[in-house]
Amino acid sequence: MTEHNDQGGAEILEDLGTAEHHDLADGEVVTQPVTAESLGLDLPSDPAAAVDMLLGEIKQARDDAGDYLDRWQRAAADLDNYRKRALREQAQLRNVASERVVSSLLPVLDSFSAALDLPAETEGEQRLLAGMRGTHAQLMDVLAREGFEAIPAVGEPFDPEVHEAVSAPSDGSGTLEVIHELRRGYRLGGRVLRPALVAVGYGEGE
């Protein structure tokens, strides 16, 4: 059985030490003894009962601290998840906006491609065609920085993920490949924005 000395509850607490606090007026550090009154405790005069009460208070304080820590960790995790979700949503909005803008430019690029395929018969037409090629190259360079790229077509193996066939051989054997491009296809950020419209034939294979 544990033996207790003759100290009362207040004397037991006073033996625990002192606490420091800062005087907000002049910044001086004032040392005060740790007492039952300073902690808001009404300790019984019986030492054993005082010890039991203090142990209960310590356990409650630890439980409360653990609960506060758990709540803080959950709040921090929720905040981190919210931040990540917000960043994903912002990225999705940017992608949607970019896709909408670039999709609206596809008819312009089709017109450029059709004009660049026309033969230049006069010196004036050659200069005009050279200027159009320069403008087209600048436009494609700007779009490329946003992840925009043309889908390879002629000579490539037929891939239904990026090629849309409008004609194919009725018989034969070998590897299907693109033999003619009717309309250029494009990707944006690795996603197919528009498949290439192609004619398909059989290649020689390996």
Question: pLDDT tens, 62-85?
Answer: 988 999 999 999 999 999 999 999
Fill in the amino acid letter for 32: Q
Please answer whether residues 180 and 166 qualify as being in contact, where contact means their C-beta atoms are separated by less than 8 angstroms: no
* Separation between Cα atoms, residue 22 and residue 32, nearest integer Å: 11
Judged against a pLDDT cut of 90, whether residue 151 lies above it is answered with: yes
Please answer whether residues 103 and 193 qualify as being in contact, where contact means their C-beta atoms are separated by less than 8 angstroms: yes
C-alpha 70 chain-centroid distance: 26
DSSP code, position 148: E
DSSP code, position 38: T
* Separation between Cα atoms, residue 147 and residue 9, nearest integer Å: 75
Q: Beta 18-22 vs 176-183: how paired, if at all? A: unpaired
Q: Give me the pLDDT at residue 206, please.
A: 44
* Separation between Cα atoms, residue 201 and residue 162, nearest integer Å: 16
123-144 and 47-116 helices cross at what angle (nearest 10)? 170
Query: What does the mean pLDDT of the chain come to?
Result: 82
176 contacts: CB under 8 Å, gap ≥ 6: 157, 158, 168, 200, 201, 202, 203
More confident residue, 44 or 201: 201
Judged against a pLDDT cut of 90, whether residue 117 lies above it is answered with: no
Q: What is the pLDDT of residues 9-31, one digit of tens each?
A: 555 555 555 555 555 555 666 66
* Separation between Cα atoms, residue 22 and residue 168, nearest integer Å: 88
Q: Give me the pLDDT at residue 82, please.
A: 92
Query: In this predicted structure, which of 127-131, 170-174, 181-185 has the lowest mean pLDDT?
Result: 170-174
The enclosing H or E element of 30 equals strand 29-33
- Mean pLDDT computed over 184-200: 92
Residues of 12-37 as b/e, b for ≥16 C-beta within 10 angstroms? Answer: bbeeeeeeeeeeeeeeeeeeeeeebe
